[in-house]
Amino acid sequence: GKTGTPEKPLSDLGLLSYRSYWSQTILEILMGLKSESGERPQITINEISEITSIKKEDVISTLQYLNLINYYKVRRHAQGIDEIWMQALS
Protein backbone atom coordinates (compact mmCIF):
# COMPACT_ATOMS: atom_id res chain seq x y z
CA GLY A 1 0.00 0.00 0.00
CA LYS A 2 0.89 3.64 -0.27
CA THR A 3 1.72 5.64 2.83
CA GLY A 4 0.67 9.22 3.30
CA THR A 5 0.91 12.24 5.51
CA PRO A 6 -1.15 15.39 5.86
CA GLU A 7 -0.02 18.57 4.14
CA LYS A 8 2.60 20.33 6.25
CA PRO A 9 2.88 22.51 8.22
CA LEU A 10 0.04 21.38 10.43
CA SER A 11 -1.82 23.80 12.65
CA ASP A 12 -1.77 23.06 16.38
CA LEU A 13 -5.31 21.68 16.13
CA GLY A 14 -4.42 19.66 13.03
CA LEU A 15 -1.39 18.14 14.74
CA LEU A 16 -3.49 17.30 17.80
CA SER A 17 -6.10 15.56 15.62
CA TYR A 18 -3.60 13.60 13.52
CA ARG A 19 -1.47 12.67 16.54
CA SER A 20 -4.57 11.32 18.27
CA TYR A 21 -5.42 9.17 15.23
CA TRP A 22 -1.82 8.03 14.70
CA SER A 23 -1.43 7.18 18.40
CA GLN A 24 -4.61 5.10 18.54
CA THR A 25 -3.79 3.28 15.30
CA ILE A 26 -0.18 2.51 16.23
CA LEU A 27 -1.07 1.45 19.79
CA GLU A 28 -3.64 -1.02 18.42
CA ILE A 29 -0.88 -2.61 16.30
CA LEU A 30 1.59 -2.74 19.21
CA MET A 31 -0.98 -4.19 21.61
CA GLY A 32 -1.71 -6.96 19.11
CA LEU A 33 1.90 -8.11 18.87
CA LYS A 34 2.61 -11.65 20.02
CA SER A 35 5.91 -12.56 21.62
CA GLU A 36 7.84 -15.61 20.51
CA SER A 37 9.83 -17.80 22.89
CA GLY A 38 9.26 -15.49 25.83
CA GLU A 39 11.08 -12.54 24.28
CA ARG A 40 9.69 -9.06 23.86
CA PRO A 41 7.70 -8.72 20.66
CA GLN A 42 9.47 -6.79 17.90
CA ILE A 43 8.28 -4.85 14.88
CA THR A 44 10.01 -2.48 12.49
CA ILE A 45 9.04 1.09 11.74
CA ASN A 46 8.65 -0.01 8.11
CA GLU A 47 6.21 -2.76 9.14
CA ILE A 48 4.12 -0.33 11.21
CA SER A 49 4.12 2.10 8.28
CA GLU A 50 3.04 -0.60 5.81
CA ILE A 51 0.29 -1.94 8.08
CA THR A 52 -1.14 1.49 8.95
CA SER A 53 -0.28 3.46 5.77
CA ILE A 54 1.18 6.14 8.05
CA LYS A 55 4.41 7.66 6.75
CA LYS A 56 7.57 6.44 8.55
CA GLU A 57 8.46 9.91 9.82
CA ASP A 58 5.00 10.24 11.40
CA VAL A 59 5.28 6.76 12.96
CA ILE A 60 8.63 7.71 14.51
CA SER A 61 7.43 11.09 15.80
CA THR A 62 4.30 9.48 17.28
CA LEU A 63 6.30 6.74 19.02
CA GLN A 64 8.64 9.39 20.42
CA TYR A 65 5.66 11.47 21.56
CA LEU A 66 4.24 8.40 23.34
CA ASN A 67 7.67 7.53 24.81
CA LEU A 68 7.40 4.06 23.26
CA ILE A 69 10.70 3.91 21.43
CA ASN A 70 12.82 1.77 23.71
CA TYR A 71 15.64 1.05 21.31
CA TYR A 72 16.33 1.85 17.73
CA LYS A 73 19.27 1.83 15.41
CA VAL A 74 19.69 3.24 11.98
CA ARG A 75 21.82 1.62 9.30
CA ARG A 76 22.87 4.15 6.70
CA HIS A 77 23.66 3.29 3.11
CA ALA A 78 24.16 5.39 -0.02
CA GLN A 79 20.38 5.61 -0.41
CA GLY A 80 19.98 7.02 3.12
CA ILE A 81 18.10 5.25 5.86
CA ASP A 82 17.81 1.54 5.08
CA GLU A 83 15.99 0.21 8.10
CA ILE A 84 14.87 1.56 11.43
CA TRP A 85 14.17 -1.09 14.02
CA MET A 86 11.90 -0.50 16.95
CA GLN A 87 11.41 -2.74 19.91
CA ALA A 88 8.05 -2.18 21.53
CA LEU A 89 7.92 -1.99 25.28
CA SER A 90 6.03 -4.87 26.78
Per-residue model confidence as pLDDT tens digits over 66-76: 988 765 555 55
Is 79 inside a domain boundary?
Answer: yes
User: What domain range is 51 assigned to?
Assistant: 12-87
Q: Are 88 and 42 in contact (CB under 8 A)?
A: yes
Element at 43 (helix H, strand E): strand 42-44
* Residue 1 within any structural domain of the chain: no
How far CA 21 is from CA of 11, 16, 25, in Å, comes to 15, 9, 6
pLDDT in tens, 14-55: 899 999 999 999 999 988 887 777 777 788 899 999 999 999
* Alpha-carbon dihedral angle through residues 5, 54, 17, 89, given to the nearest 10 degrees: -140
CA distances from 10 to 6, 7, 17 (A): 8, 7, 10
- Active site residue: 7, 36, 50, 83, which one? 7
Is residue 80 scored above 70 in pLDDT?
A: no
- Examine residue 58 and state whether it is found in any structural domain, yes or no: yes
Cα atoms in the Cβ-side hemisphere of radius 13 Å centred on 13: 0
Question: Does some domain include residue 31?
Answer: yes
CATH number of the domain at 18, please: 1.10.10.10
Q: Does 60 map to a domain?
A: yes
Q: Is 7 a catalytic residue?
A: yes
* pLDDT greater at residue 88 or residue 67: 67
In a domain, 77, yes or no: yes
* Cα–Cα distance, 40 to 42 (Å, whole number): 6
Q: What is the pLDDT of residue 50?
A: 95
**Is 22 within a domain?**
yes
Q: How many domains does the chain have?
A: 1
